[in-house]
Structure 1
Amino acid sequence: MASKNQHILLQFVLLLCIFCSSQGKEFIKPGQRRPSYIKRASSFSSAEERGSYDYIIVGGGTAGCPLAATLSRRFKVLLLERGGSPYGNRNISRLQNFHISLTDTSPSSPSQPFISTDGVINARARVLGGGSCINAGFYTRASPSYVNAAGWDGNLVNESYPWVERRIVFWPKIAPWQSALRDGLLEAGVSPFNGYTYDHVYGTKVGGTIFDPKGFRHTAADLLAAGKPQNLRVLLHATVQKIVFDTQGRRPKAVGVLFKDESGRQHEAVLRDGAGEVILTSGAIGSPHLLLLSGIGPESELEKWKIPVVLPNQHVGKGMSDNPMNSIFIPTKRPVRQSLIQTVGITKMGTFIEASSGFSQSSDSIRCHHGIMSAEIGQLSGIPPKERTLEAAQKYARNKQDLPWEAFRGGFILEKIEGPLSTGELTLVNKDISSNPSVTFNYFSHPRDLKKCVYGIRTIEKVLRTKHIVSLTGDDEYSMKVLLNMSVKANLNMIPKHTNDTASIEQFCRDTVVTIWHYHGGCHVGKVVDRDYRVLGVAGLRVIDGSTFVNSPGTNPQATVMMMGRYMGVKMLRERLGRAADGV
């Protein structure tokens, strides 16, 4: 369980750089006003709406929005989202404000920070649109082998990805730092160049983005527009407390949910009699958490918290994984334009090489963020996880204004490992759904994960030696001297001095590990849900989100999670309606 000191640290660190950029002001792009079917949770009437819905979906995120839109084409759908609307918040909408939402720790923030027991600061989405509202925007599909292993219908998958892409995905205008990485990867042997593609193929490529050419973010919430408005009701600030079961039959059956609105008043949403279902799309933290609080999970865990056991299942909350990320800072001769993830190198070793670059204000009194690797969003990678204390954060804040400009002039190359074999678990710390459960990922506890990280760091070293990166870094001895001895003070990781020493790089991997927010697991297929994502041993209940994944798909999961919502919506309609589902 995260200590009180960790929670204080989290709030402190994530507030450090709000002053560096504009605060969230109302900004609504033409055509982006909140649709009429989106209401506050307090507008719900338990008496009038009881039994009105065929489907109750818990979680309006990357899976929940496309799923709700699709099911609403033929059935009445209630979508419950614990967060607010993304529309009108420029910290969500504007690429240059990417980091601000992740620094906001207020109750209305679109992200909810948490610290794993490993000491790594992380974040959960808390907004309609889910992680697509607070991520770096990169869009790339899963590999064909991933689709086959999941048991998905390839034809329907190939229909579902484009359904998403037509609505919210764009090709990026590649930034100079991303171009340098592209050319450096190819010179370093991460080939061939596969051009602009959504496909997951070995070599180097440029992927899609949910930021349009003007830097405006499009999210999973926009996919709701593809639904049938008269069949769709979306409630914001609707925090589901537990699933309601009918336990009188042969096996428990989900019949509704209890939720609180923004004023704390409790409501009960009940399914229409018949073939209705409750569907959890609350993510890798939210879905197993809600199952536990509803009485589905390990008996010892439920009895510890005096939660009535609806169905014992020892696998709920188990098998939690997070893809570890490690980054290298590269100082440049001149400031580089901000970029998030655009270029990726996909190696056969199971390591992905990506890049980001930040920017700083021109004022001598302000030192700002480094984009995706900003310490202000919790990436304290210059400090070993167990030493990421309140005192360390305070020291960083004190010293930041005294750092030389060279510490803010450059970019990052990062490596993330595919399919970590290190796993952990999620357990309760109380019975409040609004608070974070305890989450452990056990980064690098499996030796194969360390081997992949070592390979990734050595690949980055090869890239740094290429002419394409050298042309940006030059031979600025002053910059290097300034930076080499201040990596912790500046929260910057330079390339390790002894890359031939495997043990040294392994320690570097452990000491500098951070997250790239691709955690998954807790409701695995075959253990918690079946191949159709029905919860085992329970009727009328499914889980459709990243908690069902054993491995995170592709180099970024958002494309596949959105596809999965659309895919399962169409599949469910076809199973229920046959040919009448055509044209959805």
Structure 2
Amino acid sequence: MPSHLDALRMIPVALIRLLLVVVMREVGENTYDASSKLLPQYDFVIIGGGSAGGVLASRLSEIGDWQILLLEAGGTPPPESYVPGFNQLLILGDADWKFYTTKQKNSFNGFTDNRIPYPRGKTIGGCSVLNSMFYVRGNRRDFDNWEAMGNPGWGYRDVLRYFKKFEDYRGKVTKETASFHGFGGPQTIENKRWRTKVSDGFLKAGKQLGYRIVDPSDPDQIASRPNLHVVLNAHVTQIVFENKRAVGVRFQHRGKSKAVFAKREVILSAGAIGSPQLLMLSGVGPANHLRYHGIPVVADVPGVGQNLNDHPYMTGFPWTIKNGSSFHILDIASPKTIQDYVHYRTGRLTTSISIEGYAWPMSEVGDPYWPEVQIAFLPFTVGDDYGLITSHVLGIKNEVYQQYFRNLVGMEGISIGLFLCRPKSRGTVTLNSADPFEAPLIDTNYFDHPDDMVAFIRGMRFALKLGSMPALKEDFEARFHDQPLPGCTHEWPLSDKYLECYARSLTGTTYHPSGTCKMGPASDPYSVVDEYLKLRHVSGLRVVDASIMPLVTSGNTNSPSIMIGEKASDMIKQDWGAPIMPLGY
């Protein structure tokens, strides 16, 4: 009988077998790269083919008289991205920008060099190719708060129609919930196809705490139309301005410098890291910072790269549970798992192998229905995979893995983590140099504001309480991994001081950066765009992606990013006198 290590060595062979099938059946030949027929000028040039940029390209190309160009720095999604269960394998791969944060003083103590990988999608589809495929709109209070901050038209009643517009919900509905969903849109949203047995214990534990069960879910797409050109591997290096009007872009494509121009607008959808970086490289941003790097100032816009919002995410308290209840990394190499997916599209590979469920406990401070934290339930522990994948992707120090997680190797378990929904701390994205091919400096600045840690500890205590519920403790024999965390052994176990130390050691990112091109009124000196997403102090340029969020939403950000793209496409059409397609088109 093969050992566990022998089985681990078999995984690449199993993956290759599966990928060959997937490539033949699903990927096919790339037919939408228009680099061979590039025009010198388009009506709209969109920078970035991620969730928001893809929506814009699709919606603007509905107007047959408009010529649209979408420039994407990455290539086609790698074949393994077509298999939902392989999402973690894409991080730090070719479809990732491979960014890292700067060293931190207040966090990341358990991560190598006190910094963490900061994955961002570098492929058509952007971060939606890398993410865990959870569909979460956020709390209605998030959007009402955006409007209250001086952004008319962005309240929940206004944005709800745009969520519904792109949705094609195929999950279970009742008379009470049918009105919450959209049907017939371009994005399929469905319930998880497969989940572990212990996830039922998670839901039951929530019920035992007095909570009701609600829902999240899936990814996105780009249309193919003759007036839409898509150029892959096109790394935009500069937005071209004439008299403070954006008139085109310069980009590198297959070793050559190229330029293309826009009759109407340039639209920047490069994400919360890429958008501020490109603006600053093009001369739009804090003037002193630009001059420091020798970049001529087109417009002094102090807020560019400021206001970085992200959800600090604690990797998760680990519990061991009885065998046959959760997930084990070796399972993805089993012949049955592969056969189920290849032939029947069933089994554990039909869904992302990461978080299986979310919970939003009522806030103990302020509005109880505007949660402070989001609880994440994972059907494995960091120690589950012999240190081959999870700890590497997260960037956990080897000594922390060896001393804290290693004795969980090969054991079935669960992790209950959390992220802070509405952090008060703010980070920054700044230039490392004027070189457009050099990664920017990403300073997350987690836990800088003292209120964040206080709220986070409240959430940690809720996670511990949830794990101790009979639905998990008795039904699944859940046993808390109470070994002291290295670096925190000087604190009394599970005291507030210990939990703070734990949080500062093992809290990383939830991959939800936003806010670095903040939407706000002219009276806000750090606002970068107005409510129409037009960049301040220049013309012919909008920013359309998660960077415009004044505050990050209380949940995963992929769905709100798509909503931003939908709403922006209608605003652009309205400004240029084009018809707007109705809901459900």
Q: Is it true that 1:176 corresponds to 2:172 in the alignment? A: no
Question: For the residues of structure 1 that align with 2:570 and 2:379, how far apart are their CA atoms?
Answer: 39
Counterpart of 1:576? 576
Q: Which of 466, 471, 491 does residue 469 from structure 2 map onto?
A: 466
Q: Which of the numbers 43, 50, 58 marks the counterpart of 1:54?
A: 43
Q: Identity of paired residues, percent?
A: 24
* 2:367 paired residue number: none
Residue range with higher mean Cα deviation, 543-552 or 572-581:
572-581
Q: Distance in 1 between matches of 2:431 and 2:564?
A: 28
Q: SS at the partner of 1:56?
A: strand
Tell me how far apart the structure 2 counterparts of residues 115 and 306 of structure 1 sit (CA, whole Å): 24
The answer to whether the Cα contact below 8 Å between 1:76 and 1:232 also exists between their aligned partners in 2 is: yes
1:269 alignment partner, one of 260, 271, 274: 260
Looking at structure 2, the residues matched to 84 and 281 of structure 1 have their Cα atoms a distance apart, in angstroms, of: 16
Alignment deviations for residues 294-319 of structure 1 (CA, whole Å, 9 cap, x no partner): 00111111111111110111111111
The count of residues paired between Structure 1 and Structure 2 equals 495
- CA distance in 1: counterparts of 2:96 and 2:436, whole angstroms: 16
Task: Give the secondary structure class of the aligned counterpart of 2:226.
Answer: helix
Once the two structures are TM-superposed, the CA of residue 101 in structure 1 deviates from its matched residue by 0.7
Give the counterpart letter for 1:507 in structure 2.
C
Contact 1:111-1:127 within 8 A present in 2 as well:
no
Cα 1:475–1:281, aligned 2, differ >3 Å: closer, same or farther? closer
| Distance of aligned partners of 1:170 and 1:28 in 2 relative to their CA distance in 1, 3 Å threshold | farther
Q: Which residue of 2 aligns with 1:9?
A: none
Give the distance between the partners of 2:466 and 2:67, measured in 1 at CA: 53
- Counterpart of 1:13? none
- 2:379 is aligned to 357
Give yes or no for the alignment of 1:537 onto 2:514: no
In structure 1, how many angstroms separate the alpha carbons of the residues matched to 2:115 and 2:289? Answer: 24
Whether 1:89 aligns to 2:70 is: no
| 2:201 matches 1:187 | no
The yes-or-no answer on 1:297 pairing with 2:278 is no
How far off is 1:428 after superposition?
1.0
The equivalent residue for 2:238 is: 242
Unaligned runs of 5+ in 2: 1-7, 105-113, 147-152, 169-186, 329-352, 364-371, 521-526
Q: Which residue of 2 aligns with 1:114?
A: 100
Query: C-alpha displacement at 1:154, in angstroms?
Result: 5.2
* 1:242-270 residue CA offsets vs partner (Å, 9 max, x unmatched): 000112xxxx1000000001x22110011
- Would the alpha carbon gap of residues 329 and 429 (structure 1) be closer, same or farther in structure 2, given more than 3 Å must change? same
- After TM superposition, list the pairs within 5 Å mapping 1:509-548 onto structure 2: 509-526=503-520, 527-548=527-548
Superposition CA RMSD, Å? 3.1
Shift of the 64–475 alpha-carbon distance from structure 1 to 2, 3 Å rule, reads closer
* 1:102 aligns to 2:118 (yes or no): no
Q: Distance in 2 between the 1:291 and 1:572 partners?
A: 20
How far apart in 2 are the matches of 1:375 and 1:134? 17
The letter for the 2-side match of 1:455 is: R
Matches within 5 A, 1:122-271: 122-150=118-146, 151-152=153-154, 157-166=159-168, 167-173=187-193, 174-189=195-210, 191=211, 193-194=212-213, 205-208=214-217, 210=218, 219-220=219-220, 222=221, 224-225=222-223, 229-247=225-243, 252-261=244-253, 263-271=254-262
Structure-2 separation of matches of 1:412 and 1:580: 46
Give the secondary structure class of the aligned counterpart of 1:318.
coil
Q: 327, 342, 351: which one pairs with 1:337?
A: 327
- Which deviations, in whole Å up to 9, do the C-alpha atoms of 1:140-191 show, x marking residues without a partner? 11222223333327566333223332133211144323222221122234x2
Amino acid at match of 1:508: Y
Q: Distance in 2 between matches of 1:153 and 1:188?
A: 32
**Alpha-carbon distance in structure 2 between the residues aligned to 1:18 and 1:422:** 43
Match of 1:552 in 2: 552
CA deviation string 1:342-397 (max 9, x = no partner): 422112321111111248999xxx83667xxx2121252xxxxxxxxxxx44x578
Under a length normalisation based on structure 1, what TM-score does the superposition of the two structures give?
0.78
Residue 430 of structure 2 contacts residue 441 of structure 2 at CA under 8 Å; is this kept in 1? Answer: yes
Superposition deviation, residue 524 in structure 1? 0.6
Is the Cα contact below 8 Å between 1:137 and 1:341 reproduced in 2? Answer: no
Q: Is the 8 Å Cα contact of residues 383 and 408 (structure 2) preserved in structure 1? A: no
Q: Deviations over 1:105-140 (max 9, x none)?
A: xxx334523223323312111111111100111111
Corresponding letter in the other structure for 1:270: F
> Separation in 2 of the partners of 1:552 and 1:309?
29
- Report what 2:341 is aligned to: none
- 1:409 maps to which residue? 412
Distance 1:460 1:440 in 2: 27
Give the structure 1 partner of residue 57 of structure 2: 68
Residues 100, 406 of structure 1: alpha-carbon distance in 2 compared, 3 angstrom cutoff: closer
Q: Give the CA deviation at 1:472.
A: 5.5
2:427 and 2:158 mapped to 1: Cα distance? 33
Indicate how the Cα distance of structure 1 residues 536 and 241 shifts in structure 2: closer, same or farther if over 3 A, else same: same
Alignment of 1:456 with 2:462, yes or no, is no
CA contact (8 A) 2:92 2:119 kept: no
The yes-or-no answer on 1:310 pairing with 2:298 is yes
Distance in structure 1 (CA, Å) of the matches to 2:197 and 2:99 = 31
| Contact 1:323-1:519 at 8 Å conserved across structures | yes
CA gap of 1:269–1:578, structure 2 versus 1, over 3 A, is: closer
SS of structure 2 residue aligned to 1:411? strand
Distance in 2, matches of 1:293 and 1:576, equals 28
Question: Contact conserved, 1:138 with 1:342, CA < 8 A, in 2?
Answer: no
* Counterpart in the other structure of 1:348: 362
Answer whether contact 1:61 1:129 (CA < 8 A) is retained: yes
SS state at 2:167 partner: helix
Q: By how many angstroms is 1:403 displaced?
A: 4.0
- Asked if the contact 2:327–2:380 (Cα under 8 Å) also holds between the matched residues in 1, the reply is yes
Asked whether the 8 Å contact 1:360–1:408 carries over to 2, the reply is: no
The corresponding residue for 1:384 is none
Is the alpha carbon distance of 1:427 and 1:509 closer, same or farther for their aligned partners in structure 2, counting shifts above 3 Å?
A: same
| Equivalent pair of 2:533/2:568 in contact (CA under 8 Å) | no
Question: Could you say what secondary structure the match of 1:320 adopts?
Answer: coil
Distance 2:29 2:157 in 1: 33
Counterpart CA distance in 2 for 1:505 and 1:177 is 25
Q: Could you tell me how far apart the structure 2 residues matched to 1:182 and 1:269 are?
A: 53
- Decide whether the 8 Å contact of 1:156 with 1:567 is kept in 2: no
325-334 or 230-239: which moved more? 325-334
The residue aligned with 2:386 is 367
CA gap 1:19/1:559 in 2 versus in 1, 3 angstroms: farther
Separation of aligned partners in 1, 2:564 and 2:29 = 25
Does residue 37 (structure 1) correspond to residue 28 (structure 2)? The answer is no
Distance 1:435 1:180 in 2: 46
SS at 2:474 equivalent: helix
Unpaired segments of 5 or more residues in structure 1?
1-16, 195-204, 211-218, 381-391
- Return closer, same or farther for 1:54/1:149 CA change in 2, 3 Å cut-off: farther
1: distance between equivalents of 2:571 and 2:445?
A: 36
Give the deviation of 1:331 after TM superposition: 1.2
